[in-house]
Structure 1
Amino acid sequence: MASTLPASAQQANKAALNAALAENPDNSKHKSTGDDSEPGEIQEVDMQAQAEGIRTVFSDPANFNVKHPLYSAWTLWFDSPATKGRNLPQTPSTAFPQTPLPQTPSAASAQGWMEDIKRVISFDSVEEFWGLYNHIVPPSQLPQKANYYLFKEGIIPAWEDEANKHGGKWSIQLPKEKNRGNVDKMWLYTMLAAIGETFDPYLTNADPSDPNPQSLITGVIVSTRPQFYRLSIWTRLAPSLEEDKLRERIEVIGRHFKTNVLGYPEPQKLAGPLATEVEFLSHKDSEKKGKTAKKIIV
């Protein structure tokens, strides 16, 4: 069928098509030669054949050629008593490129603590996340006093970082013996909610006039201690008593964490020996460590 496009558009369209087919010579059964078609005629492309040439990690784990990008890039960090004062290799694989630690004033102020935490890897696609997840030790098998920190790339998992210093965290503490069989699934679902940007619905409901909508989430943490596990979600901001809209947004994150990620009914009370409710505390109030700290509980 002849095209009714203007001549200049026909030439551009044909050039683009030929270029695409040249890059994927095996994906189409109908190749354009440039000489055997009528002027302006656009050659038919076998889309089914092209689709069959697309390989994802789910169909071809070794040779996939398509990645599904995440909204943000992320970095996994790790520390434990074994990493204190040691320069450990940061990743067992060369499949994921390493990026240098961001040199910011906040990084410098946290440098003492940062000497003990090890950057494992950065990633920005679904496939890279699963490649990472399938090659790291799950929380249930970590030593005591170990921590995984999954933070957006460029944000250091420290209160001093510019993205964290005005924020706070949702956290829950769970008795170790009762939750050894659940913590790995809880940590996986927490990471998936973070990289999938489902904690803070502002991104999907943002005002269209906002050119750069930003999630409140900066990172998530799992910690192992002698008698309990702790899961945490860090936020960029923490509400004051007067900030009703921000408090409501923070509470939505906490409820999603409790019900959709951890799987508890919203009315269920969780506090008990070695256990806490799902509770929010600003980083500034965390430093107080007293009764004056103002918690939000869902």
Structure 2
Amino acid sequence: MTSTAIPPAAVAANNNTLNSALAAEQISSPASPVDKPVDEKKQLEEGEIEENPSEGDSQTKTIFDDASKFNVKHPLFSTWTLYFDSPQSKSLPKTPQTTPAMPQGSHGWMADIRKVVSFDSVEEFWGLYNNIIPPSQLPGKANYYLFKNGIIPAWEDPQNKNGGKWSIQVPKNSESKSSIDRMWLYTMLAAIGETFETASTDSENAPSPTQSDLITGVIVSPRPAFYRISIWTREASDVNVLDTDAIKARLLNIGKHFKTSVLGYELEQKLTEGGFQTELTFDAHKDSEKKVNKNKFTV
């Protein structure tokens, strides 16, 4: 497995940044700056990057101080790329900038996927998020794919081929239409903040690793009768492996964190109520490709 060591300082900076980002979720328009006193001698926090201030303005301002005239960026540990496809995207023109690389064996099904943009800071993420259609308003059979830069949202990508996914389906109704956008936002924030493996009280078998690179991307898929949110991982496990196995323990910890801290459910809460609702389930890509169900496990 290829892993990237995350320095403790970067982990702390990411956590602080994402906590601030959650608090600033209501930032929706450059025309609505946040009124907050700014200390002219304010020191940069660890991990922040100061850009050239505008002429006549020597104050340090983050996006949380001023949504349009900030001069400090909060860098992410990784660069991320957003992709999109829908039945309508087939008619959109293709350019080198919007066409992702085709992994060997993809059989051309990726021809309809368009690359939207890559970003590497919290500010760029919010700029993107505030200017795209939320999942609740997308047509059926559309998909948003948010993946680490250089990883294509396909089973055939070398970073995905031995992996799997956590996924959940939520029926489309008036309640879920108001909550799916929040679920997707928090899923993206957990991904770009590298917090899916944050230690919890239930993670004694899988404490936060010094090397954490299991997550390759996250996907939201509106369908005519339900929404599906998925987390893709570069490694997989199955129901027959002991929970104390190193990889399975990490996967279970990701699933628990996803269910409770990101989606907002109780850990022991049963979600299936019939219809299109599912439990939070993990299965390997190889099993999904072969339509094998016996190796799935849930939290």
Q: TM-score range by the shorter chain?
A: 0.7 to 0.9
Cα distance 1:161–1:68, how it changes in 2: closer, same or farther (>3 A)?
A: same
The 8 Å contact of residues 42 and 60 in structure 2, kept in 1 or not, is answered as no
Deviation at 1:182, TM superposition (A): 0.7
In 2, distance between residues paired with 1:71 and 1:99? Answer: 24
Give matches, 1:1-298, under 5 Å.
Answer: 48=41, 53-87=59-93, 101=100, 103=101, 107-110=103-106, 112-177=108-173, 178-201=175-198, 205-207=208-210, 213-240=211-238, 241-242=240-241, 244-271=245-272, 272-291=274-293, 293-298=294-299
Residue range with higher mean Cα deviation, 272-281 or 236-245: 236-245
In 1, distance between residues paired with 2:141 and 2:40? Answer: 53
Counterpart code for 1:281: D
| Higher RCO, 1 vs 2 (CA within 8 Å, ≥6 residues apart) | 2
- TM-score, normalised to structure 1, is 0.73
Cα distance 1:297–1:57, how it changes in 2: closer, same or farther (>3 A)?
A: same
In 1, distance between residues paired with 2:284 and 2:160? Answer: 10
- Higher CA-based Rg: 1
Deviation at 1:62, TM superposition (A): 2.7
Structure with the larger helix share: 1
RMSD: 2.6
Deviation at 1:226, TM superposition (A): 0.5
Deviations 1:83-109 (A, max 9, x none): 12532689xxxxxxx6984x5xx6243
In 1, distance between residues paired with 2:278 and 2:43? Answer: 53
Structure 1 spans left out of the alignment, 5+ residues = 1-45, 91-97, 208-212
Structure 2 spans left out of the alignment, 5+ residues = 1-38, 45-57, 200-205
Deviation at 1:113, TM superposition (A): 2.1
- TM-score, normalised to structure 2, is 0.73
The 8 Å contact of residues 70 and 126 in structure 1, kept in 2 or not, is answered as yes
* Number of corresponding residues: 237
In 2, distance between residues paired with 1:259 and 1:276? Answer: 15
